[in-house]
Amino acid sequence: MAAESPVVSLRAVTKMFGSARALDEVELEVRRGEVVVLLGRSGAGKSTLLRHVAGLQQATSGGLTVLGTEVSTARERELRRLRRRIGFVFQGFQLVGRLSALENACSGALGRLAGPRLGLATYPRAVRRLAAEQLDRVGLSAQAYQRADTLSGGEQQRVAIARALVQQPQILLADEPVAALDPSSATTVLELLRGIAREEQLTVICSLHQVAPALSFATRVVGLRSGRVFSDQQVSEVDEETLARVYGAAE
């Protein structure tokens, strides 16, 4: 069987913010079905890397191919088409607080719908059904008609996951999805993400900054340090020493 081409491939990607080097010649290939956890201290470049993969930020130099699209040269139309196939779960949930959980979930379908939507009733019936199913899957069918800003943090993050699932994505990106949650909600959300990744054979790239959940969640762990890939190991080979150095004091 010929090796499948990678779903995500970064070639010497560098991102400058002014004179600060947020990503420094990052090389990374992710294959279909892999669950990659990015580890690193804050400021190591995890969020920036994820945003580049989602086409939300453009690299200063280097090449980036995602699902066959060359991101660095793509036009806005192509980028939109690409983003449609990539789910993104944010640290701060980023829901529309005044809309219901269900309508927030429905908004995941906007990328494949033409024209603006004003109100739940303006979404096609099929989208509403899909959104209700995904809310059920994350265990929130009872709260479907509640305003998003009345939900707890853990519930809001599950709505955000439902929104990403309504996209029916091929890749799921998650930027510190549990950093703003209490430990028990964090466990629920991570278990949910792991279950979904397995059932849907999704490719997942998720940044975390705790080691223990990362090891139970990932198939592969990538350590970032000062914008560089510092370590890259299958979860079975991960050793404590390397991880300690990912978080260790500057050399």
Partner 1 sequence: MRARFALIALAALGFWALADLTLKAGPSLGGIGQAGGFLRRAWPLDFPPLGEILTQVGRTMAVVLLATLVSVLLGGALAVAATVGRRFTAGASRVALTAARALPDVVLAVIFIRFFGLGALPAVLAMGLHSAGMVGRLYAAAVEQADRGPQEALRAVGAGRIQTFCTAVLPQVAPSFLSIALYRLDINLRISAILGYVGSTGIGTELAMAFGRLDYQRGMAWAVVLFVLCALTEISSGAIRRHGIPARLCKVVAVGGVLAVGWAIVASGVLEVDLAGNWLETLTLFWPPTTAGAELGTALLTTVQVALAATALGALVAVPLGSVAASNVAPNRFVYFVSRAVVLIVRSIPELVLAVLFLLIAGPGPVAATLALAVGASGLLGKLVADSTEQLPPSPALALRSVGASRLQTFFGATFRQGVPDLVSNLLYQLDSNLRAATLLGIVGGGGIGLYLLQAMRTREYAVVTMILLLLFAVVLSLELLATRLVRRIR
| 37 neighbors 222 (Cβ within 8 angstroms) | yes
- Residue carrying structure tokens 């054979």: 201
Provide, rounded to whole angstroms, the least separation between the CB of residue 63 and partner 1.
Answer: 21
By CB under 8 A, the residues from 87 to 146 that bind partner 1 are 88, 90, 92-99, 107-108, 110-113, 115-118
Strand 220-225 vs strand 228-234: parallel, antiparallel, or unpaired?
antiparallel
By CB under 8 A, the residues from 166 to 195 that bind partner 1 are 167
Helix axes 183-200, 153-166, angle to 10 degrees: 10
Q: Is 150 in the site for partner 1 (CB under 8 A)?
A: no
Residues touching partner 1, count (CB under 8 A): 32
The nearer residue to partner 1, 103 or 231, going by C-beta atoms, is: 103
- Contact mark string toward partner 1, 46..65, x via CB under 8 A: --------x-x---------
Dump strand ranges (E) for 90-241.
171-175, 203-207, 220-225, 228-234
Provide, rounded to whole angstroms, the least separation between the CB of residue 241 and partner 1.
Answer: 36
Separation of alpha carbons 109 and 105, rounded Å: 8
Q: Is 67 in the site for partner 1 (CB under 8 A)?
A: no
| Contact residues: partner 1, CB under 8 A | 54, 56, 80-86, 88, 90, 92-99, 107-108, 110-113, 115-118, 160, 163, 167
